[in-house]
Amino acid sequence: MGVRSVENLGFGGDMSGINLNGKCVWLTGASSGIGEALALELASRGAKLAITARRAEVLEQLVARIRAKGGEAWSFPGDVLNLDQMKQVVAAIELNIAPIDLAIPNAGTHLFTVPESFDCAEYLFVMQLNYGGMLHCIEAVLPGMLARKRGYLAPVASLAGYRGLPRAAAYGASKSAMIHFLESIRFHLKSKGVTISIVNPGFVRTPLTDKNDFHMPFIVDADQAARIICQGIERGKREIAFPFPFNWILKLARILPDAIYERIVDRLW
Ligand SMILES: NC(=O)c1ccc[n+]([C@@H]2O[C@H](COP(=O)([O-])OP(=O)(O)OC[C@H]3O[C@@H](n4cnc5c(N)ncnc54)[C@H](OP(=O)(O)O)[C@@H]3O)[C@@H](O)[C@H]2O)c1
């Protein structure tokens, strides 16, 4: 039995998934890359889609594209760094569309960092955007979900959050923080009707990775990533980690002794 079939058996015991058709979905970081592809995929599966990012005009263009294909979408521009704005966005969505069934905090960024030119502002910025931005979205959306005893959160973290990697201290730490936080709150929320899928992509072809000057193993297109993420949510997967086999290689790397892990990464990077 291959590793892929072990995954397909739901070896980890999947949770109840969500049929996206007709559901009210709030997605951040929708103006580009994975978020843009996810918006198109969610809409094609019948979701009522509320999209957020800072560039309002880009969101409006995406809304027009989705509607032209018969989908339902509305734009709610905002900055995830601003908690009050996120609360206003959620209130506006729930007033004008419907209570949010699924929230996908996806907005984020990547910065290469090297400790030789250490500037803690860089590390704090990435932490504030990737981790803090997700926390702001959760603070905005969770009270309503708890009151309704129903909801689904699928924040986009990264396989880079598994272990330390060269030049990835700021990014990896922010994604590790997300994974740790989400695993922890799942213990509390599962008995309260709120389900969590942690989305951990490997390399995905987007404007963010277009800047990379190195070989990105097993890289996938954003529309493929969006399909995998939607399928994972519909199946209620605890973790939506991809692409195969990169996800399993990095899972194995988590249990390697430090010295062996360090030697392998030194060779490859
Ligand atoms: N691409 C990959 O290989 C990869 C792998 C693993 C995980 N991820 C994660 O996937 C997510 C999306 O990445 P991507 O590759 O699609 O990047 P991207 O193309 O650069 O898109 C980033 C999105 O985040 C939004 N955003 C950035 N700062 C924001 C802010 N302060 N408030 C609201 N929205 C903000 C951007 O919109 P505006 O500029 O309009 O605000 C944009 O829509 C990120 O969390 C990233 O860490 C990506």
Give the pLDDT band (50/70/90) at residue 7: very low
Give the pLDDT band (50/70/90) at residue 14: confident
Coil/strand/helix, residue 93? helix
CA–CA dist 124, 136 (Å, integer): 16
Does residue 97 belong to any structural domain of this protein?
yes
Q: Which atom of ligand 1 lies nearest, measured to the CA of 107?
A: 24
Q: Which atom of ligand 1 lies nearest, measured to the CA of 207?
A: 19
CATH code of 120's domain: 3.40.50.720
Expressed in angstroms and rounded, the spacing between residue 267 Cα and the centre of ligand 1 is 30
Q: Is the beta carbon of 27 within 6 A of some atom in ligand 1?
A: no
Does residue 7 belong to any structural domain of this protein?
no
Identify the pLDDT of residue 107: 98
Does residue 34 belong to any structural domain of this protein?
yes
Does residue 89 belong to any structural domain of this protein?
yes
Expressed in angstroms and rounded, the spacing between residue 131 Cα and the centre of ligand 1 is 12
Q: Is the beta carbon of 129 within 6 A of some atom in ligand 1?
A: yes
Does residue 176 belong to any structural domain of this protein?
yes
Q: Is the beta carbon of 128 within 6 A of some atom in ligand 1?
A: no
Does residue 135 belong to any structural domain of this protein?
yes
Coil/strand/helix, residue 36? helix
Identify the pLDDT of residue 41: 98
Expressed in angstroms and rounded, the spacing between residue 83 Cα and the centre of ligand 1 is 18
CA–CA dist 93, 102 (Å, integer): 12
Does residue 142 belong to any structural domain of this protein?
yes
Nearest CA to ligand 1 atom 32: 79
Nearest CA to ligand 1 atom 23: 29
Q: What is the pLDDT of residues 95-139, one digit of tens each?
A: 999 999 999 999 999 999 998 999 999 999 999 999 999 999 999
**Number of other residues whose CB lies within 10 A of the CB of residue 135:** 18
Domain that holds residue 250: 19-268
Q: What is the pLDDT of residues 29-81, one digit of tens each?
A: 999 999 999 999 999 999 999 999 999 999 999 999 999 999 999 999 999 99
Identify the pLDDT of residue 12: 52
Q: What is the pLDDT of residues 161-198, one digit of tens each?
A: 999 999 999 999 999 999 999 999 999 999 999 999 99
Does residue 247 belong to any structural domain of this protein?
yes
Identify the pLDDT of residue 2: 39
Asked if omega into 243 is within 30° of 0 (cis), the reply is yes
Q: What is the pLDDT of residues 205-263, one digit of tens each?
A: 999 999 998 899 999 999 999 999 999 999 999 999 999 999 999 999 999 999 999 99
Residue whose entry in the numeric block shows the structure tokens 């960092």: 113
Q: Is the beta carbon of 59 within 6 A of some atom in ligand 1?
A: no
The structure's pTM equals 0.95
Segment 20-24 shows an average pLDDT of 98
- Number of domains, the chain: 1
Q: Is the beta carbon of 35 within 6 A of some atom in ligand 1?
A: yes
CA–CA dist 106, 91 (Å, integer): 19
Expressed in angstroms and rounded, the spacing between residue 200 Cα and the centre of ligand 1 is 14
Q: In a mutational test of the pocket of ligand 1, which residue from 109, 134, 212 has the highest number of ligand atoms less than 8 Å from its CB?
A: 109
Q: Is the beta carbon of 75 within 6 A of some atom in ligand 1?
A: no
Which residues, 6+ apart, have CB-to-CB distance to 136 below 8 Å? 80, 81, 82, 83, 86
Identify the pLDDT of residue 231: 98
Q: Is the beta carbon of 55 within 6 A of some atom in ligand 1?
A: yes
232, 240 contact by CB (below 8 A)? yes
- Residues with catalytic roles: 171
pLDDT at position 3 over 80:
no
Identify the pLDDT of residue 5: 38
